[in-house]
Structure 1
């Protein structure tokens, strides 16, 4: 096979750097039963962390990052997959401890690979990527504990103009929820959130968080994508028997609260993992994303090349990134 290019992260003299490298060979990819010609990848908060010094993501260098990919199988040692088949991969150790999707080719364990749903193409799969999978998992988790569009429930989405939040808002709007509140940090994000389906938008700086362990009940359910002090301060506003799904840590990893919202209002805190969830659960969410939840035509999208990845990762780091960015490889 000919040489190829990829984004490579290296550690030298206790410093971390990354750049596009040409002339890579198949032997520089980690082992796997399936070799994929990558057509698209996507960029996520975790990909930004992967290229940072002390980002807490990559531990072994050099590494090709990229936690998402879609493409065409060109070699397979697993009879479940055939040459020419379109597939997608998200999560697991890909782009972390196993060479990932920001590359023209990827060699992947077959147990990580999902056949592309019939109603999606390889580009649409990456328009969703890990962000779409995470949004879907969050919605399903809250649906199981009572969130439904058939009641007059108020749903709050934090980080509402980012990848997970924007997709979650649009799916909820399509499902028929009528009270969708977006929480954003910057004024220019207000109109963006409304385009995603928010019926109301709250600026963080204008919200009176107070200091009480229990505040006025405002939100039946919260899809939290940022973590840290923000969600800590929102817990006292969750209504009786309400629930919060948590999937991100952009605002920090610490959670500070009291037991009172849990023992006096009976609220639930639901952790959302999109990395190591069972294969069957992944397939279920991808089926929903490709059918009754399909919103790929309305997602705020930017398509870039490998060479433009550093610029987008900088936007993600600085908190100025909106919607989804996919990377066209081939």
Structure 2
């Protein structure tokens, strides 16, 4: 495959960057050990930051896309052979390095994860960085003592990619899940994913800076941040934990030491970008087994082409996309 299609973010003569689907050659790809025929990619909030807001981009022209799953075409490293099915997410993929919105990609061997048994390439991208982040969140919460007997778990931003998958994973594991959303029309959707309680976004938002409130949650998955995280910290039960992975609600968090020294709560940061490979592989194995969502279907998934990415990224920024959106490139399963 000497020539292939890719979504390219280009900037010429001082003009604003623009996205367009262009023909590329292997020579256009950056250096790397493993060349991959991409079957599917997926869309994430960070992709919208790159493709629409033009943040995190180190140079132009640039191929966005922080996720990909596909089949090895060639490898300079013995670990991977032509025909192997693999996953690549995060690191500098789609930011400082040409990403997954391309029919062919080339990456360092250190970024590559073998596709676990129990997942197809399509399922791997329904999960993608959002699934890895949700899985890391559950892993960290359980490492810090969470068990289904401890009480309800709150998932903020529950109709988003991380939130939807976290609701499904936790419900599958037997947790009582409360899901918060800004849209009352999503009640049926969240209940199908396994949520026992649906809460409005306003009811899990700190309005007055109260440092501690009535204890409600054994734990929480927080892809939102901001005043939502402030509320969560103030309502965790004794020794409860919150796993934070997002900032769509803002980067500022106003709290005090009281929840930490009075209730012993844990604020856990989730880093899916530079996550150590040993932990990364462990969580991907869980995503193929005990954490594999039960709803990897059309209820959760929207499938698009390269030509539809720009519009969908804009909709992500506007909060009008629920669940997961995957990009179909060279499907083999």
Q: Aligned to 2:87, what secondary structure does the other structure show? A: strand
Instruction: Please give the residue correspondences for 1:78-89 in structure 2 after superposition, counting only pairs within 5 Å.
Output: 78-89=77-88
2:320 alignment counterpart? 320
SS class of match (1:257): coil
Kept in 1: contact 2:260–2:266 (CA 8 A): yes
Aligned-pair distance for 1:296? 5.6
CA distance in 1, matches of 2:173, 2:312: 31
Name the CA distance, whole Å, in 2 between partners of 1:206 and 1:305: 37
Unaligned residue ranges in structure 1 (runs of 5+) = none
CA distance in 2, matches of 1:62, 1:33: 21
Unaligned runs of 5+ in 2: none
Aligned CA RMSD, in angstroms, stands at 1.5
Residues 220 and 133 (structure 1), Cα distance of their counterparts in 2 relative to 1, 3 Å cut = same
Structure 1 119/207 Cα, relative in aligned 2: closer, same or farther at 3 Å?
closer
| CA distance in structure 1 between the partners assigned to 2:141 and 2:173 by the alignment | 13
Tell me the equivalent position of 2:287.
Answer: 289
Per-residue CA shift, 1:53-99, capped at 9, x if unaligned? 3x532122211000110111111110111111111101110000000
TM-score by length of 1: 0.95
Name the residue aligned to 1:30. 30
Contact (CA 8 Å) 1:30, 1:98: kept in 2 or not?
A: yes
Tell me the equivalent position of 2:90.
91
Residue of structure 1 equivalent to 2:234: 236
How far apart in 2 are the matches of 1:260 and 1:275?
31
Runs of 4+ with >3 A deviation:
206-210, 296-299
Query: How many residues of Structure 1 are paired with residues of Structure 2 in the alignment?
Result: 326
Quickly say closer, same or farther: Cα 1:36–1:143, change in 2 above 3 A.
same
Instruction: Note the alpha carbon deviations across 1:164-223, whole angstroms, 9 max, x for none.
Output: 11111101111011x211111111222221111110011123457453221111112110
Q: Give the TM-score of the pair, scaled to structure 2.
A: 0.94
Matched with 2:17 is 16
**SS of the counterpart of 2:290?**
coil
The alignment partner of 1:141 has SS state of helix
Instruction: Name the CA shift for 1:296/1:218 in 2 (closer, same or farther; >3 Å).
Output: closer
Tell me, yes or no, if the aligned pair for 2:71 and 2:84 is still in contact at 8 Å.
Answer: yes
Structure 1 position 261 matched with structure 2 position 259: yes
